[in-house]
Amino acid sequence: MVSILSFDGRSMLYLLKDEFSKYFSKEFPIFYKNKIQKGSGKNGRDLKYFYRSAIDSALRNNQVGACSTIIKYIVKYQNNFASSYLFVKNLPTLISKDIKITDLLNS
């Protein structure tokens, strides 16, 4: 759900409230890269895919608040090495949009 609604900052603030923390778990991450098919290949053989995360969608829609909320959640509940792959391509964009990432870098 958060991957779909990441284009809206208010939805992200509501879905990731601390009052819902009993549903959040480090074992089951809610932010990850989704595999999306680019187009149909010839006879279904040459299919091409790309990967997009909720952070990618929020940045594409200029949702600075949603990105900040996602980063806070990831630092608090998904603080592991695997989550760092969500930021490999987005780190320069996050810095250029002046989104606070100090907690992310310190985690």
Of 1-15, 31-45, 70-84, the range with the highest mean pLDDT is 70-84
What pLDDT, on a 0 to 100 scale, did the predictor assign at position 48?
Answer: 83
Q: Which residue has the tokens 């900040």?
A: 68
Residue 4 pLDDT grade (very low, low, confident, very high; cuts 50, 70, 90): low
Residue 41 pLDDT grade (very low, low, confident, very high; cuts 50, 70, 90): low
Handedness of CA 98, 9, 2, 58 (dihedral sign): negative
Handedness of CA 1, 51, 7, 66 (dihedral sign): positive
The residue type of 36 is I
Rounded Cα distance between 104 and 6, Å, is 19
Cβ-based neighbours of 82, under 8 Å, separated by 6 or more? 29
Q: For residue 11, how many other CB atoms are within 10 A of its CB?
A: 17
Residue 8 has pLDDT above 80, yes or no: no
Q: Which residue has the tokens 């987005």?
A: 90
Residue 29 has pLDDT above 80, yes or no: no
What digits encode the pLDDT tens for the residues 48-107? 888 888 888 888 888 898 899 889 988 888 888 878 888 888 899 999 999 998 988 888
